[in-house]
Amino acid sequence: MARRGLRGMVAIASAAAVLAGAAGCESGGSGSAKGSQRLTVWLTVDAQESWPDLVESTNARFAQQHPGVSVAVEYQQWTTKNLKLDAALAGRDVPDVVEMGNSEVVNYIVNDAFTAVEPSAFDQSAQWLGALREPCESNGRTYCVPYYVGARVGIYRTDLFQQAGLTKAPESYPELIADLDALKAKFGAQDHAFSALYLPGRYWYAAMAFVKDAGGEIAVRADGHWRSALSSPESVAGLKAWKGLLDAYYVGDRSKDNGDEPAVVGQGKVAVFYGNTWEAEAAADPQSGGDPALRGRFATFPFPGPSGGPLPPFLGGSELAVPAKSKNGQLARDWIRLFTDRTSQQRLIKANTLPNNTAQLAEVDPAGVNGSAARAATRGWVTPPAPGWAAVEKANILQEMLEDIATGKHTVEEAAKTADGRIDAVIDKN
Protein backbone atom coordinates (compact mmCIF):
# COMPACT_ATOMS: atom_id res chain seq x y z
CA MET A 1 0.00 0.00 0.00
CA ALA A 2 1.71 3.19 -1.18
CA ARG A 3 0.30 5.27 1.61
CA ARG A 4 3.30 7.54 1.92
CA GLY A 5 1.08 10.19 0.37
CA LEU A 6 -1.30 9.88 3.30
CA ARG A 7 1.54 10.30 5.73
CA GLY A 8 2.56 13.55 4.08
CA MET A 9 -0.94 14.74 3.46
CA VAL A 10 -1.50 18.23 4.82
CA ALA A 11 -4.18 20.80 4.23
CA ILE A 12 -2.48 23.48 2.14
CA ALA A 13 -4.08 26.87 2.37
CA SER A 14 -4.91 28.03 -1.14
CA ALA A 15 -5.00 31.66 -2.06
CA ALA A 16 -8.56 32.92 -2.03
CA ALA A 17 -7.94 35.07 -5.04
CA VAL A 18 -6.87 32.05 -7.07
CA LEU A 19 -9.82 29.95 -6.04
CA ALA A 20 -12.30 32.76 -6.42
CA GLY A 21 -11.42 32.74 -10.11
CA ALA A 22 -13.32 29.46 -10.33
CA ALA A 23 -16.51 30.92 -8.88
CA GLY A 24 -19.34 31.62 -11.26
CA CYS A 25 -17.78 29.58 -14.05
CA GLU A 26 -19.43 26.75 -15.92
CA SER A 27 -20.38 23.84 -13.71
CA GLY A 28 -19.32 21.32 -16.28
CA GLY A 29 -21.75 21.48 -19.15
CA SER A 30 -23.70 18.51 -20.47
CA GLY A 31 -20.69 16.24 -20.68
CA SER A 32 -21.40 15.08 -24.23
CA ALA A 33 -18.61 14.49 -26.71
CA LYS A 34 -19.20 18.02 -28.00
CA GLY A 35 -16.52 19.22 -25.59
CA SER A 36 -12.81 18.72 -25.96
CA GLN A 37 -13.11 14.94 -26.66
CA ARG A 38 -10.41 14.56 -24.03
CA LEU A 39 -10.91 14.01 -20.31
CA THR A 40 -7.98 15.01 -18.11
CA VAL A 41 -7.70 13.20 -14.77
CA TRP A 42 -5.26 14.15 -12.04
CA LEU A 43 -4.52 11.32 -9.61
CA THR A 44 -1.72 11.08 -7.07
CA VAL A 45 1.14 8.64 -7.42
CA ASP A 46 -0.56 6.17 -5.05
CA ALA A 47 -2.71 4.93 -7.94
CA GLN A 48 0.27 4.70 -10.27
CA GLU A 49 2.30 2.70 -7.74
CA SER A 50 -0.34 0.45 -6.19
CA TRP A 51 -3.33 -0.04 -8.51
CA PRO A 52 -2.45 0.98 -12.09
CA ASP A 53 -4.62 -1.88 -13.37
CA LEU A 54 -7.67 -0.25 -11.78
CA VAL A 55 -6.96 2.96 -13.69
CA GLU A 56 -6.58 0.98 -16.92
CA SER A 57 -9.78 -1.02 -16.41
CA THR A 58 -11.73 2.13 -15.55
CA ASN A 59 -10.52 3.82 -18.71
CA ALA A 60 -11.52 0.75 -20.74
CA ARG A 61 -15.01 0.69 -19.22
CA PHE A 62 -15.33 4.42 -19.77
CA ALA A 63 -14.33 4.04 -23.44
CA GLN A 64 -17.13 1.53 -23.95
CA GLN A 65 -19.67 4.04 -22.66
CA HIS A 66 -18.14 7.08 -24.36
CA PRO A 67 -16.57 6.10 -27.70
CA GLY A 68 -14.29 8.76 -29.10
CA VAL A 69 -13.52 10.40 -25.76
CA SER A 70 -9.91 9.87 -24.69
CA VAL A 71 -8.77 9.89 -21.07
CA ALA A 72 -5.42 11.38 -20.08
CA VAL A 73 -4.38 10.42 -16.56
CA GLU A 74 -1.65 12.60 -15.07
CA TYR A 75 -0.03 11.55 -11.80
CA GLN A 76 0.75 14.19 -9.21
CA GLN A 77 2.93 14.34 -6.12
CA TRP A 78 1.13 15.09 -2.86
CA THR A 79 3.60 17.84 -2.01
CA THR A 80 3.08 19.86 -5.19
CA LYS A 81 -0.36 19.02 -6.56
CA ASN A 82 -2.25 21.81 -4.77
CA LEU A 83 0.11 24.49 -6.05
CA LYS A 84 -0.34 23.12 -9.57
CA LEU A 85 -4.10 23.04 -9.15
CA ASP A 86 -4.20 26.62 -7.87
CA ALA A 87 -2.27 27.74 -10.94
CA ALA A 88 -4.59 25.79 -13.24
CA LEU A 89 -7.72 27.21 -11.61
CA ALA A 90 -6.43 30.72 -12.24
CA GLY A 91 -6.45 30.03 -15.97
CA ARG A 92 -8.64 28.23 -18.49
CA ASP A 93 -6.85 24.88 -18.94
CA VAL A 94 -8.08 22.89 -15.94
CA PRO A 95 -8.18 19.14 -15.28
CA ASP A 96 -11.62 17.55 -15.33
CA VAL A 97 -11.09 15.27 -12.33
CA VAL A 98 -8.77 15.96 -9.39
CA GLU A 99 -7.80 13.86 -6.39
CA MET A 100 -7.70 15.69 -3.07
CA GLY A 101 -7.01 14.70 0.50
CA ASN A 102 -10.09 14.71 2.72
CA SER A 103 -8.45 17.36 4.91
CA GLU A 104 -7.78 19.56 1.86
CA VAL A 105 -11.13 19.90 0.11
CA VAL A 106 -12.97 22.33 2.40
CA ASN A 107 -11.02 25.43 1.41
CA TYR A 108 -11.66 24.72 -2.27
CA ILE A 109 -15.35 24.03 -1.73
CA VAL A 110 -16.02 27.24 0.20
CA ASN A 111 -14.33 29.17 -2.62
CA ASP A 112 -16.57 27.55 -5.29
CA ALA A 113 -13.66 25.76 -6.97
CA PHE A 114 -15.58 22.49 -7.41
CA THR A 115 -18.93 21.73 -8.97
CA ALA A 116 -21.64 19.82 -7.11
CA VAL A 117 -22.34 16.12 -7.65
CA GLU A 118 -25.43 14.05 -6.91
CA PRO A 119 -24.50 11.33 -4.37
CA SER A 120 -27.28 8.99 -5.50
CA ALA A 121 -25.49 8.60 -8.84
CA PHE A 122 -22.61 6.79 -7.13
CA ASP A 123 -22.45 3.29 -5.71
CA GLN A 124 -23.12 2.88 -1.98
CA SER A 125 -23.20 6.62 -1.33
CA ALA A 126 -25.57 6.02 1.59
CA GLN A 127 -22.77 4.02 3.23
CA TRP A 128 -19.89 6.42 2.53
CA LEU A 129 -17.59 6.73 5.52
CA GLY A 130 -18.40 9.91 7.41
CA ALA A 131 -14.75 10.97 7.47
CA LEU A 132 -14.85 11.04 3.66
CA ARG A 133 -18.43 12.22 3.15
CA GLU A 134 -18.56 15.12 5.60
CA PRO A 135 -15.67 17.17 4.15
CA CYS A 136 -17.43 17.04 0.76
CA GLU A 137 -20.66 18.58 2.04
CA SER A 138 -21.54 22.24 2.23
CA ASN A 139 -24.91 23.98 2.51
CA GLY A 140 -26.81 20.81 1.75
CA ARG A 141 -24.87 19.93 -1.39
CA THR A 142 -22.03 17.50 -2.11
CA TYR A 143 -18.91 18.59 -3.96
CA CYS A 144 -16.68 15.52 -4.09
CA VAL A 145 -16.82 11.72 -4.12
CA PRO A 146 -15.03 9.50 -1.56
CA TYR A 147 -12.26 7.40 -3.13
CA TYR A 148 -10.36 5.44 -0.44
CA VAL A 149 -9.16 5.74 3.14
CA GLY A 150 -6.46 4.58 5.56
CA ALA A 151 -6.64 4.11 9.34
CA ARG A 152 -3.95 3.90 11.99
CA VAL A 153 -3.67 0.81 14.16
CA GLY A 154 -1.37 -0.74 16.72
CA ILE A 155 1.70 -2.44 15.21
CA TYR A 156 3.87 -4.71 17.30
CA ARG A 157 7.00 -6.84 17.16
CA THR A 158 5.82 -10.42 17.44
CA ASP A 159 9.29 -11.68 18.39
CA LEU A 160 9.60 -9.22 21.29
CA PHE A 161 6.14 -10.17 22.52
CA GLN A 162 7.15 -13.83 22.54
CA GLN A 163 10.37 -13.11 24.40
CA ALA A 164 8.36 -11.21 27.02
CA GLY A 165 6.01 -14.15 27.43
CA LEU A 166 3.09 -12.50 25.62
CA THR A 167 1.13 -14.84 23.38
CA LYS A 168 -1.22 -12.42 21.61
CA ALA A 169 -1.92 -8.78 20.93
CA PRO A 170 -3.85 -6.83 23.58
CA GLU A 171 -7.61 -6.71 23.11
CA SER A 172 -8.45 -4.16 25.81
CA TYR A 173 -6.84 -1.12 27.37
CA PRO A 174 -5.95 -2.93 30.62
CA GLU A 175 -4.32 -5.68 28.55
CA LEU A 176 -2.39 -3.04 26.59
CA ILE A 177 -1.04 -1.51 29.81
CA ALA A 178 -0.10 -4.93 31.19
CA ASP A 179 1.70 -5.85 27.95
CA LEU A 180 3.60 -2.57 27.83
CA ASP A 181 4.64 -3.05 31.46
CA ALA A 182 5.93 -6.54 30.64
CA LEU A 183 7.85 -5.28 27.60
CA LYS A 184 9.35 -2.39 29.55
CA ALA A 185 10.43 -4.71 32.37
CA LYS A 186 11.94 -7.24 29.95
CA PHE A 187 13.83 -4.92 27.60
CA GLY A 188 13.93 -1.47 29.20
CA ALA A 189 16.22 -2.57 32.02
CA GLN A 190 18.73 -3.88 29.47
CA ASP A 191 18.53 -0.91 27.09
CA HIS A 192 17.64 2.56 28.39
CA ALA A 193 16.90 3.68 24.81
CA PHE A 194 14.16 1.07 24.45
CA SER A 195 10.55 2.26 24.05
CA ALA A 196 7.81 -0.20 24.87
CA LEU A 197 5.57 2.26 22.96
CA TYR A 198 6.80 4.76 20.38
CA LEU A 199 4.77 7.94 20.94
CA PRO A 200 6.71 11.15 20.09
CA GLY A 201 5.40 14.41 21.51
CA ARG A 202 4.29 16.18 18.32
CA TYR A 203 2.43 13.18 16.89
CA TRP A 204 -0.93 14.93 16.81
CA TYR A 205 -2.88 12.22 14.98
CA ALA A 206 -2.20 9.93 17.95
CA ALA A 207 -2.91 12.53 20.63
CA MET A 208 -6.18 13.67 19.04
CA ALA A 209 -7.31 10.04 18.83
CA PHE A 210 -7.22 10.00 22.65
CA VAL A 211 -9.18 13.25 22.70
CA LYS A 212 -11.84 11.66 20.49
CA ASP A 213 -11.86 8.51 22.59
CA ALA A 214 -12.63 10.57 25.70
CA GLY A 215 -15.57 12.27 23.97
CA GLY A 216 -13.67 15.47 23.25
CA GLU A 217 -13.32 17.44 20.04
CA ILE A 218 -10.69 19.57 18.40
CA ALA A 219 -13.33 22.14 17.45
CA VAL A 220 -17.11 22.38 17.33
CA ARG A 221 -19.58 24.45 15.32
CA ALA A 222 -22.31 26.31 17.16
CA ASP A 223 -24.52 29.24 16.14
CA GLY A 224 -22.88 29.27 12.73
CA HIS A 225 -19.33 29.61 14.05
CA TRP A 226 -16.42 27.26 14.68
CA ARG A 227 -14.72 27.31 18.07
CA SER A 228 -11.84 25.27 19.47
CA ALA A 229 -12.79 22.74 22.15
CA LEU A 230 -9.42 21.46 23.33
CA SER A 231 -9.85 22.83 26.85
CA SER A 232 -13.19 21.09 27.42
CA PRO A 233 -13.17 18.55 30.29
CA GLU A 234 -13.46 15.66 27.82
CA SER A 235 -10.60 16.86 25.63
CA VAL A 236 -8.38 17.50 28.65
CA ALA A 237 -9.10 13.98 29.91
CA GLY A 238 -8.04 12.55 26.56
CA LEU A 239 -4.85 14.60 26.50
CA LYS A 240 -3.99 13.43 30.00
CA ALA A 241 -4.48 9.79 28.99
CA TRP A 242 -2.14 10.33 26.04
CA LYS A 243 0.42 12.07 28.26
CA GLY A 244 0.26 9.20 30.76
CA LEU A 245 1.20 6.65 28.09
CA LEU A 246 3.98 8.85 26.77
CA ASP A 247 5.44 9.35 30.26
CA ALA A 248 5.31 5.67 31.11
CA TYR A 249 6.52 3.99 27.92
CA TYR A 250 8.14 6.37 25.42
CA VAL A 251 11.88 7.00 25.52
CA GLY A 252 13.16 9.62 23.13
CA ASP A 253 12.91 13.18 21.90
CA ARG A 254 9.58 14.64 22.98
CA SER A 255 9.88 17.58 20.60
CA LYS A 256 9.72 15.49 17.40
CA ASP A 257 6.86 14.15 15.33
CA ASN A 258 6.26 10.75 13.72
CA GLY A 259 7.58 11.64 10.28
CA ASP A 260 10.47 9.18 10.51
CA GLU A 261 8.55 6.52 12.43
CA PRO A 262 9.49 3.54 10.18
CA ALA A 263 13.18 4.45 10.38
CA VAL A 264 13.08 4.78 14.16
CA VAL A 265 11.20 1.50 14.57
CA GLY A 266 13.69 -0.08 12.17
CA GLN A 267 16.48 0.55 14.67
CA GLY A 268 15.02 -2.30 16.72
CA LYS A 269 14.37 -0.44 19.95
CA VAL A 270 10.56 -0.20 19.72
CA ALA A 271 8.06 -2.91 20.66
CA VAL A 272 4.75 -1.22 19.78
CA PHE A 273 3.85 1.81 17.70
CA TYR A 274 0.69 3.46 16.42
CA GLY A 275 0.70 3.97 12.68
CA ASN A 276 -0.59 3.20 9.21
CA THR A 277 -0.46 -0.44 8.20
CA TRP A 278 2.07 0.21 5.44
CA GLU A 279 4.57 1.40 8.05
CA ALA A 280 5.00 -2.19 9.26
CA GLU A 281 6.55 -3.04 5.89
CA ALA A 282 8.43 0.26 5.74
CA ALA A 283 10.14 -0.49 9.06
CA ALA A 284 11.79 -3.45 7.33
CA ASP A 285 12.54 -1.59 4.09
CA PRO A 286 16.05 -0.07 3.73
CA GLN A 287 14.64 2.62 1.41
CA SER A 288 12.59 3.89 4.37
CA GLY A 289 15.46 3.58 6.80
CA GLY A 290 14.18 0.22 8.02
CA ASP A 291 16.03 -3.01 8.75
CA PRO A 292 15.44 -6.00 6.41
CA ALA A 293 16.15 -8.30 9.37
CA LEU A 294 12.79 -7.22 10.82
CA ARG A 295 10.81 -8.44 7.81
CA GLY A 296 7.98 -10.72 8.93
CA ARG A 297 8.24 -9.69 12.58
CA PHE A 298 5.35 -7.24 12.69
CA ALA A 299 1.62 -7.75 13.17
CA THR A 300 -1.27 -5.34 13.66
CA PHE A 301 -4.11 -4.97 16.15
CA PRO A 302 -6.90 -2.44 16.80
CA PHE A 303 -5.23 -0.13 19.32
CA PRO A 304 -7.49 -0.12 22.40
CA GLY A 305 -8.66 3.18 23.84
CA PRO A 306 -9.25 3.95 27.52
CA SER A 307 -13.00 4.16 26.82
CA GLY A 308 -13.19 0.43 26.10
CA GLY A 309 -13.43 0.49 22.30
CA PRO A 310 -10.79 0.78 19.59
CA LEU A 311 -8.90 4.08 19.72
CA PRO A 312 -10.71 6.27 17.14
CA PRO A 313 -8.25 6.73 14.26
CA PHE A 314 -7.88 9.71 12.01
CA LEU A 315 -9.10 8.51 8.62
CA GLY A 316 -6.73 9.99 6.10
CA GLY A 317 -8.16 9.48 2.66
CA SER A 318 -8.80 10.80 -0.80
CA GLU A 319 -11.70 12.44 -2.58
CA LEU A 320 -12.37 12.99 -6.28
CA ALA A 321 -13.76 16.33 -7.42
CA VAL A 322 -14.75 18.07 -10.65
CA PRO A 323 -13.37 21.62 -10.98
CA ALA A 324 -16.06 24.20 -11.70
CA LYS A 325 -14.18 25.31 -14.80
CA SER A 326 -14.22 21.84 -16.37
CA LYS A 327 -15.92 21.78 -19.77
CA ASN A 328 -16.60 18.06 -19.39
CA GLY A 329 -18.46 17.95 -16.11
CA GLN A 330 -20.79 15.04 -16.83
CA LEU A 331 -18.06 12.99 -18.45
CA ALA A 332 -15.94 13.62 -15.37
CA ARG A 333 -18.73 12.41 -13.10
CA ASP A 334 -19.16 9.30 -15.25
CA TRP A 335 -15.45 8.47 -14.94
CA ILE A 336 -15.53 8.98 -11.16
CA ARG A 337 -18.64 6.79 -10.91
CA LEU A 338 -16.78 3.89 -12.54
CA PHE A 339 -13.56 4.48 -10.62
CA THR A 340 -15.37 4.34 -7.26
CA ASP A 341 -18.06 1.71 -7.83
CA ARG A 342 -18.32 -1.62 -5.99
CA THR A 343 -16.03 -3.42 -8.42
CA SER A 344 -13.35 -0.75 -8.15
CA GLN A 345 -13.56 -0.73 -4.36
CA GLN A 346 -13.01 -4.50 -4.37
CA ARG A 347 -9.79 -3.94 -6.31
CA LEU A 348 -8.63 -1.38 -3.74
CA ILE A 349 -9.31 -3.86 -0.95
CA LYS A 350 -7.06 -6.37 -2.71
CA ALA A 351 -4.36 -3.70 -2.70
CA ASN A 352 -4.59 -3.53 1.11
CA THR A 353 -6.54 -0.29 1.01
CA LEU A 354 -9.73 0.46 2.92
CA PRO A 355 -12.86 1.12 0.83
CA ASN A 356 -14.84 4.35 0.82
CA ASN A 357 -17.92 2.79 2.46
CA THR A 358 -18.91 0.90 5.60
CA ALA A 359 -20.63 -1.93 3.70
CA GLN A 360 -17.42 -3.16 2.09
CA LEU A 361 -15.35 -2.89 5.26
CA ALA A 362 -16.75 -6.38 5.92
CA GLU A 363 -14.96 -7.60 2.77
CA VAL A 364 -11.55 -6.77 4.23
CA ASP A 365 -9.80 -9.95 5.34
CA PRO A 366 -9.90 -9.83 9.18
CA ALA A 367 -6.66 -11.82 9.33
CA GLY A 368 -4.91 -9.64 6.74
CA VAL A 369 -2.66 -6.65 7.27
CA ASN A 370 -5.64 -4.28 7.02
CA GLY A 371 -8.11 -6.33 9.08
CA SER A 372 -7.36 -4.34 12.23
CA ALA A 373 -7.65 -1.05 10.34
CA ALA A 374 -11.07 -2.06 8.98
CA ARG A 375 -12.33 -2.69 12.51
CA ALA A 376 -10.87 0.56 13.83
CA ALA A 377 -12.26 2.58 10.89
CA THR A 378 -15.79 2.29 12.25
CA ARG A 379 -14.75 4.83 14.92
CA GLY A 380 -12.77 7.00 12.52
CA TRP A 381 -12.74 10.80 12.41
CA VAL A 382 -11.45 13.64 10.29
CA THR A 383 -10.29 17.17 11.00
CA PRO A 384 -13.00 19.84 11.41
CA PRO A 385 -14.48 20.91 8.04
CA ALA A 386 -13.96 24.54 8.95
CA PRO A 387 -12.91 27.21 6.43
CA GLY A 388 -9.82 28.11 8.44
CA TRP A 389 -8.61 24.61 9.26
CA ALA A 390 -5.79 24.85 6.72
CA ALA A 391 -4.47 27.85 8.64
CA VAL A 392 -4.56 25.84 11.87
CA GLU A 393 -2.42 23.10 10.35
CA LYS A 394 -0.08 25.55 8.67
CA ALA A 395 0.58 27.24 12.03
CA ASN A 396 1.38 23.89 13.72
CA ILE A 397 -0.88 24.82 16.61
CA LEU A 398 -1.65 21.25 17.67
CA GLN A 399 1.97 20.15 17.42
CA GLU A 400 3.20 23.07 19.51
CA MET A 401 0.53 22.47 22.15
CA LEU A 402 1.50 18.81 22.39
CA GLU A 403 5.21 19.58 22.59
CA ASP A 404 4.55 21.97 25.48
CA ILE A 405 2.61 19.23 27.27
CA ALA A 406 5.06 16.44 26.46
CA THR A 407 8.11 18.40 27.59
CA GLY A 408 6.41 19.68 30.75
CA LYS A 409 6.64 23.31 29.68
CA HIS A 410 2.93 23.75 30.41
CA THR A 411 0.19 21.69 32.03
CA VAL A 412 -2.45 20.10 29.85
CA GLU A 413 -4.97 22.74 30.92
CA GLU A 414 -2.61 25.65 30.23
CA ALA A 415 -1.47 24.38 26.84
CA ALA A 416 -5.03 23.53 25.74
CA LYS A 417 -6.31 26.96 26.69
CA THR A 418 -3.52 28.65 24.73
CA ALA A 419 -4.21 26.45 21.71
CA ASP A 420 -7.92 27.27 21.90
CA GLY A 421 -7.13 30.97 21.62
CA ARG A 422 -4.81 30.48 18.67
CA ILE A 423 -7.28 28.23 16.85
CA ASP A 424 -10.24 30.56 17.48
CA ALA A 425 -8.29 33.38 15.83
CA VAL A 426 -8.15 31.60 12.45
CA ILE A 427 -10.53 28.64 12.23
CA ASP A 428 -13.62 30.59 11.15
CA LYS A 429 -11.84 32.69 8.55
CA ASN A 430 -11.87 31.77 4.88
Distance CA 355, CA 364 (A): 9
Q: Give tens-digit pLDDT for 207-251.
A: 999 999 999 999 999 998 999 999 999 999 999 999 999 999 999
Segments of 158-287 assigned E as strands: 195-198, 219-222, 225-228, 270-276
Distance CA 382, CA 131 (A): 5
* CATH topology (fold) of 152-314+387-424: D-Maltodextrin-Binding Protein; domain 2 (3.40.190)
Q: Give tens-digit pLDDT for 69-95.
A: 999 999 999 999 999 999 999 998 999
What is the per-residue pLDDT for 37?
A: 87
Q: Do domains 4-150+315-379 and 152-314+387-424 have the same CATH topology?
A: yes
What is the per-residue pLDDT for 378?
A: 86
Three-state DSSP state, 202: coil
Cα angle: 257, vertex 106, 331; to 5 degrees: 120
What is the per-residue pLDDT for 25?
A: 36
Map out the domains of the chain as residue ranges: 4-150+315-379, 152-314+387-424
> Using an 8 Å Cβ cutoff, are 59 and 339 in contact?
no
User: What is the model's pTM?
Assistant: 0.86
Radius of gyration of the chain (CA): 22
Ramachandran region, residue 394 (left: φ > 0; alpha: ψ -120 to 50; beta: rest): alpha
Low pLDDT (below 70) residues in the chain: 1-36
Distance CA 76, CA 79 (A): 9
Superfamily, domain 4-150+315-379 = Periplasmic binding protein-like II (3.40.190.10)
What is the per-residue pLDDT for 87?
A: 96
What is the per-residue pLDDT for 31?
A: 39
What is the per-residue pLDDT for 429?
A: 87
What is the per-residue pLDDT for 279?
A: 93
